[in-house]
Amino acid sequence: MEVALECAIDIGEMIISREKLKRPEAYQEVFLILGEHGILPRDFAIKFAPAAGFRNILVHMYAKIDIGRLYYYLQNNIEDIEQFGKYIAQYGKNEI
């Protein structure tokens, strides 16, 4: 989960740099900026942005992770990572 979220953030940061968009001050802003510029659908960007905060919990507070919350996220939000990949693939297809 942590690696997938880090990859999504890194990909978003690469696109922001390539497109010369506003530099995000926090990881959550990466997805919001992509949504503001139509790279991700705005509603998806708003829904997905908190995943960056969850990544921070996984990285920095791994000893205090709420297993119930992790299980809930895996059961109910894992498809968001797949959807992010689809949106990014579509973006890449449009850029070729």
Domain count for the chain: 1
For residue 49, which of 79, 23, 26 has the smallest C-alpha distance? 26
Domain containing residue 51: 2-95
Q: Does residue 33 carry a pLDDT above 70?
A: yes
**What pTM value is reported for the model?**
0.84
**Predicted confidence (pLDDT) at residue 30 exceeds the cutoff of 70:** yes
State the alpha helices, DSSP H only, in 1-96: 2-19, 27-36, 42-48, 50-60, 67-76, 78-95
Q: Could you identify the residue written with the tokens 């740099």? A: 17
Check which CATH number belongs to the domain holding 64 and give it: 1.20.120.580
Measured in whole angstroms, the distance separating CA 72 from the mean position of its chain's CA atoms is: 18
Q: What is the pLDDT of residues 51-83, one digit of tens each?
A: 887 776 676 666 577 778 778 777 877 899 999
